[in-house]
Amino acid sequence: MVKPPELVFLATIGIPTICLMLLIMLPFFDRNPERNPLRRPIATTAGVAVICAMAYLSIEGALAGAPTEIELATAPQYQEGKEITATSGCLACHKIGENGNTLGPALTDIGQRLGPQAIERTLINPTPPMPSYQSFRDDNPEQFDKLVDYVASLKGSE
């Protein structure tokens, strides 16, 4: 995972774009007809830099973990709710522990600020752009309750 989170955009969009542009513009910068890489320092440096950047980003991506897992320690009674939360799309916008995104507010300590009823109301009638979980509650009330219980149990580091 790229840390700090502010650099995620640079790592996922910026660096690959710069590498691609470097490769596209390389013939315009290095017009040397020599074929020996040791006599073409610009082309060799650009090629090695692109390979290193792509290798670094590939390793970071591989080590980042699954986007549908929450690595935060959880009490056994909330384990199923944790799995439901992770697979319900919450991590696409919210951060729980070290996992997730920063588009929405972090949920790591939401249980300190909101009770289960407030969390349930927020899930059913959220502020845009968050989607409503009304149909999830109607179709899977037991799973919805476990999701709410898990989110309400998030108290941060105590």
41-58: pLDDT as tens digits: 888 888 898 889 888 888
Segment 87-129, tens digit of pLDDT: 998 988 898 988 888 888 999 999 999 999 999 999 999 998 8
pLDDT band, very low/low/confident/very high, at 149 (cuts 50, 70, 90): very high
- Tell me: pLDDT of 1 over 60: no
Give the Cα separation of 105 and 46 in Å (integer): 40
Residue with tokens 């997730």: 100
3-state secondary structure of 66: coil
3-state secondary structure of 116: helix
Q: What does the block give as tokens for 90?
A: 């919450």
- Tell me: pLDDT of 2 over 80: no
**Mean pLDDT in residue range 129-150:** 95
Residue with tokens 């109301």: 121
Quick one: which of 72, 74, 90 has its CA closest to 133?
Answer: 90
Q: What is the pLDDT of residue 59?
A: 81
Pick the CATH number of 76-153 from 3.30.450.20, 1.10.3720.10, 3.40.50.720, 1.10.760.10: 1.10.760.10
Task: Supply the DSSP symbol for 126.
Answer: P
Q: What does the mean pLDDT of the chain come to?
A: 86
Integer angstrom CA distances of residue 146 from 37, 38, 74, 88, 95: 60, 62, 13, 12, 19
Q: What is the pLDDT of residue 35?
A: 82
